């Protein structure tokens, strides 16, 4: 019998049934992480009127930090200066990324914000890969942004401040990609992430503390903030970490490229944010560009100067 070919890149044909089941489980975990992440963001938007976007960000990161510190219990006394530097830079990137992103979705629809933010890791991947084909993928993503602009001109315009904040979040997402990889190499276990969450909380605290304090006396708001911390931080991180043990990195990255689609879906279901034809086309172009950059980064090492980083999840 001729072995069946697997359509997913990085998976050899003729994979054993047990390995195939493991692969499918990994794919399900990545999709679950994307759903959890965007569902959590949609829940967070509903807290903005009471706490403000920065207050929600501070509360969400702070709660996630407390929970993960209790679980990981990092041995801080044994950390070197190099490890501390890496973790602090990781936490600063994370805090600025989350704060600007949440401030963005306070002003523009969730799907549009995620699509714009995706430009950060896309451009980073293309720059590090240094091939004309990678520039083509960035051009496709920029065409998607052009469609967003056209959609704003013809219909309901996107708040320019919200667009600018999404772009800022994309810049810090690129920084997150680089710093998280460094922490992963230098700090074992989840201790680096736990401390980085503390740093991220401190970074957004000056703007977010007043709103976050307002939730402490309201069990309903505090409960929703806890749900946001779990859905948008701890659950996706856990699922993605487990998925990476089951699926190749190219498959993982391509599946994460679906985040703009999930963002648009939950923005529509939970927030009543109708995307429209042009906005949906823009999201599709961003997904194609992200998948293209990932696939281009899979060429043999001898054919490229450096590997492009994957567009990893932005809210660990």
pLDDT (tens digit, 9 = 90+) per residue, 221-244? 888 888 888 888 778 877 776 776
Q: What is the pLDDT of residue 302?
A: 39
The reply to whether 164 falls in a domain is yes
The reply to whether 5 falls in a domain is no
DSSP 14: T
The total number of structural domains that make up the chain: 1
**Quick check: 73 pLDDT over 70?**
yes
DSSP 302: G
The reply to whether 311 falls in a domain is no
Token pair, residue 3, equals 């072995």
Residues 170-226 have pLDDT tens digits of 888 888 877 877 877 788 777 888 888 899 999 999 998 888 887 777 888 888 888
Residues 272-284 have pLDDT tens digits of 666 667 666 777 7
Structural domain range at position 258 = 28-303
Lookup result for tokens 């074992």: 188
When computed from its CA atoms, the radius of gyration of the chain, rounded to whole angstroms, is 19
Q: What is the pLDDT of residue 204?
A: 92
Confidence band (pLDDT; 50, 70, 90) for 308?
A: very low
The reply to whether 102 falls in a domain is yes
What's the rounded Cα separation, in Å, for the pair 166 and 124?
16
* 208 vs 34: which has the higher pLDDT: 208
The reply to whether 11 falls in a domain is no
Angle between helices 259-271 and 110-117 (to 10 degrees): 160
What's the rounded Cα separation, in Å, for the pair 303 and 300?
6
Confidence band (pLDDT; 50, 70, 90) for 128?
A: low
Q: What is the pLDDT of residue 199?
A: 93
Give the least confident one: 13-27, 54-68, 103-117, 202-216: 13-27
What's the rounded Cα separation, in Å, for the pair 38 and 301?
34
The reply to whether 218 falls in a domain is yes
The reply to whether 131 falls in a domain is yes
Confidence band (pLDDT; 50, 70, 90) for 6?
A: very low
Confidence band (pLDDT; 50, 70, 90) for 149?
A: low
Q: What percent of the chain has pLDDT above 70? A: 65
Q: H or E segment at 41?
A: helix 17-45
The reply to whether 312 falls in a domain is no
């Amino acid at each position: 019998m001729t072995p069946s070919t697997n359509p997913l890149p990085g998976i050899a044909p003729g994979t054993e049934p047990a390995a195939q089941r493991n692969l499918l489980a990994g794919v399900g975990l990545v999709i679950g992480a994307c759903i959890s992440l965007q569902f959590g963001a949609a829940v967070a938007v509903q807290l903005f009127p009471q706490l403000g976007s920065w207050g929600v960000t501070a509360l969400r990161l702070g709660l996630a930090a407390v929970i993960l510190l209790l679980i990981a219990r990092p041995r801080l006394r044994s950390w070197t200066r190099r490890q501390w530097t890496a973790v602090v830079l990781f936490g600063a990137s994370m805090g600025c990324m989350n704060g600007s992103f949440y401030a963005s979705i306070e002003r523009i629809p969730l799907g549009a914000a995620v699509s714009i933010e995706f430009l950060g890791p896309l451009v980073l991947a293309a720059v590090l890969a240094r091939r004309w084909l990678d520039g083509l993928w960035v051009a496709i993503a920029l065409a998607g942004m052009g469609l967003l602009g056209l959609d704003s001109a013809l219909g309901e315009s996107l708040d320019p401040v919200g667009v600018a904040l999404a772009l800022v979040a994309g810049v810090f997402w690129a920084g997150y990609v680089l710093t998280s990889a460094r922490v992963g190499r230098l700090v074992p276990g989840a201790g680096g992430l736990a401390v980085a969450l503390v740093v991220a909380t401190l970074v957004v605290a000056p703007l977010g503390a007043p709103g976050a304090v307002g939730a402490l006396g309201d069990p309903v708001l505090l409960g929703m903030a806890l749900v946001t911390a779990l859905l948008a931080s701890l659950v996706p991180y856990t699922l993605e970490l487990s998925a990476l043990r089951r699926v190749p990195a190219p498959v993982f990255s391509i599946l994460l490229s679906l985040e703009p689609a999930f963002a648009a879906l939950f923005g529509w279901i939970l927030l009543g944010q109708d995307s429209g034809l042009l906005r949906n086309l823009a999201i599709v172009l961003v997904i194609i560009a992200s998948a293209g950059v990932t696939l281009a980064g899979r060429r043999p090492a001898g054919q490229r100067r450096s590997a492009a980083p994957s567009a990893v999840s932005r809210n660990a």
